[in-house]
Amino acid sequence: MSDAVAMFQLLDVEKVYRIDRSGWLRFGLGAGQRLMALDRIRLTVGAGDSVALVGESGSGKSTLLRVLVGLTASSNGRALFRGREIDRLSSAERKQFQRDVAMIYQDARGSLNPRLRVVDLIAEPMREHRLCQPSEVQDRVIALLTRVGMPADAAERYPSQLSGGQVRRVAIARALASEPKVIVADEAVSGLDVSTQAQLLNLLRGLQREMGLTLLFITHDLAVASYLCRRIAVMYLGRIVESGPTRAVLRQPAHPYTRALLEASPRFFEPIAGTLSGEIPSPIDLPSGCRFAGRCRLAGPECLEREPELQAFGADRQVACWRPETDQAPCP
């Protein structure tokens, strides 16, 4: 994928928080502990790509998301959107960026102002970016609602009158209202009933394919990642440990953490697999060496000395491991 069409490019992006001993965040210099929420992230997202960011708590996926949408500035490295640094956009460029990148929050209900009706909520980005005449707004809103599978009369309702699944659909409709090129979703389907989740997954996949949107999807569920996204990046404690085409990575995971995630996901009638021992360590002041070494069953002496970098693995994949599992049986 040439750089010219890359939507996002993250080059060694880092995000460091300084905290003092009692655990409070503190700005300013001085002795304190470092919390590296993001550690030398390298990621390229091309136009029309669908990328899943997968990880557990503490993996930094939410922080990465915030850097991508410009809410948080990176401490080091460069985060580029279509070749321009996100932190240094001019105000006109920034306006365009805000139009092109739309976010769907995990807490969909919290992301909608409870005092506004659905029509006003969806129309807000349209009005803000002056995408149409005021007289056309109503029709466009109804068209969007229909697109996400909501009845037209929902436009006059308030979020408190809608169910959880419907609120998510309104959030998706609002994200589409600014005619974005990129949709960034933070666990957009978690915490829902399986039937609602399935409906929303179909909706998102359909929209992404029809409209050629670039989709960045954060999830902890590998199956959802596989259903929605063609590429996947697995994160652990602030680093991307593996990335590549979703099917390939999930069929034959190279990194032991990816394999552990796969084994931990429940599957019909499989007994609960040999699980990963230990807890996810604290991201504060990590020891040297691979950050997964403490829980990895394949850890060797080189794993405790130096942190592995993300390296090419096969045609289109990358993995950050000294001992990637190259020749094992595919995951059942």
Partner 1 sequence: MGVRQMSADVSAAPNAPQMLRDPAPREPLLWLHDVSLARAGRSVLDRVSFALGRGEVLGLVGESGAGKSTLALIAMGLLRPPAVALEGCMRFAEFDNLLAEPESVWAGLRGRRIGMIFQDAAAALNPCFTVAHHLATPLRRLLGLGRADARRRAITLLESVGLNDAEARLAAFPHELSGGMQQRVMIAVALACSPELLLADEPTSALDVTIQAQIMRLILQQVRARHASSIIVLHDLALASQVCDRIVVLYAGQVVEAGSSETVLRRTLHPYTHALKSCVVELETERLTPPEGGLPALGAMPAGCRFAPRCPRATDACASRPPLRELDGRAIACWHPG
Partner 2 sequence: MPPRDITIAAPEAPWRFPAPVHAVLEQLRARPFFIAAAVVTLAFLAAALLAPWVAPFDPAFQDPDYLMAAPNAVHPAGTDSFGQDILSRVLYGARYAFLIGFCSVLIGAAGGLAIGLAAGLLGGAVEWALMRFIDAILALPSLIMAITFIAILGQGMDKVVYAVGFALIGPFARTVRADVLQVRAQAFVEAAGLMGVNRLRIVRRHILPNVVFPLAVQATVRVSEAILVASGLSFLGLGVVPPTPEWGLMISEGRAFISFAPWMSGVPGAALALLLIALSIVGDGVRERFDPKLRVNR
**How does strand 317-319 pair with strand 311-313?**
antiparallel
Which listed option, partner 1, partner 2, none, makes contact with residue 103 (CB within 5 to 8 Å by class)? Answer: partner 2
Displacement of CA 259 from its chain's centroid (Å): 20
Q: What are the residues binding partner 1 (CB under 8 A)?
A: 56-57, 163, 165, 193-199, 201-202, 220-224, 226-227, 250, 260-273, 275-277, 279-280
Segment interacting with partner 2, rule: CB under 8 A, options 29-37, 67-75, 188-196, 236-244: 67-75
Distance CA 197, CA 193 (A): 6
Which amino acid would we find at residue 99?
A: R
Choice between 63 and 178, CB closer to partner 2: 178
With CA atoms as reference, report the closest residue to 54 among 181, 243, 196.
Answer: 243
Segment interacting with partner 2, rule: CB under 8 A, options 54-62, 77-85, 100-108, 287-295: 100-108
Confirm or reject binding of residue 21 to partner 2 (CB under 8 A). Answer: no
Confirm or reject binding of residue 191 to partner 2 (CB under 8 A). Answer: no
Choice between 211 and 248, CB closer to partner 1: 248
With CA atoms as reference, report the closest residue to 102 among 126, 69, 149, 64.
Answer: 69
Tell me the closest approach of the beta carbon of residue 151 to partner 1, in angstroms. 12
Q: Helices 137-147 & 118-128, crossing angle to 10 degrees?
A: 110
CB 230 within 8 A of CB 215: no
Choice between 102 and 233, CB closer to partner 2: 102
Q: Which of 3, 25, 76, 95 binds partner 2 (CB under 8 A)?
A: 95
Tell me the closest approach of the beta carbon of residue 162 to partner 1, in angstroms. 11
* Residues 6+ positions from 205 with CB-CB distance below 8 Å: 227, 228
- Per-residue binding string, partner 2, 104-123, x by CB under 8 A, is -x-x--xxxxxxx-------
Confirm or reject binding of residue 68 to partner 2 (CB under 8 A). Answer: no
* Residues 6+ positions from 280 with CB-CB distance below 8 Å: 56, 57, 58, 237
Tell me the closest approach of the beta carbon of residue 37 to partner 2, in angstroms. 18
CB 34 within 8 A of CB 18: yes
Confirm or reject binding of residue 99 to partner 2 (CB under 8 A). Answer: yes
Choice between 66 and 291, CB closer to partner 2: 66
Tell me the closest approach of the beta carbon of residue 141 to partner 2, in angstroms. 15
- Burial of 37-67, coded b for 16+ CB within 10 Å and e otherwise, reads bbbbbbbbbbbbbbbbbbbeebbbbbbbbbb
Tell me the closest approach of the beta carbon of residue 38 to partner 2, in angstroms. 19
Tell me the closest approach of the beta carbon of residue 168 to partner 1, in angstroms. 12
Confirm or reject binding of residue 71 to partner 2 (CB under 8 A). Answer: yes
Q: Helices 194-211 & 164-177, crossing angle to 10 degrees?
A: 10
Which amino acid would we find at residue 157?
A: R
Tell me the closest approach of the beta carbon of residue 266 to partner 1, in angstroms. 4
**Helix/strand/coil (H/E/C) assignment for every residue in 150-187:** CCHHHHHCCHHHCCHHHHHHHHHHHHHHCCCCEEEEEC
Chain residues binding partner 2 by CB under 8 A are 69-71, 94-95, 98-99, 102-103, 105, 107, 110-116, 124-125, 128-129, 178
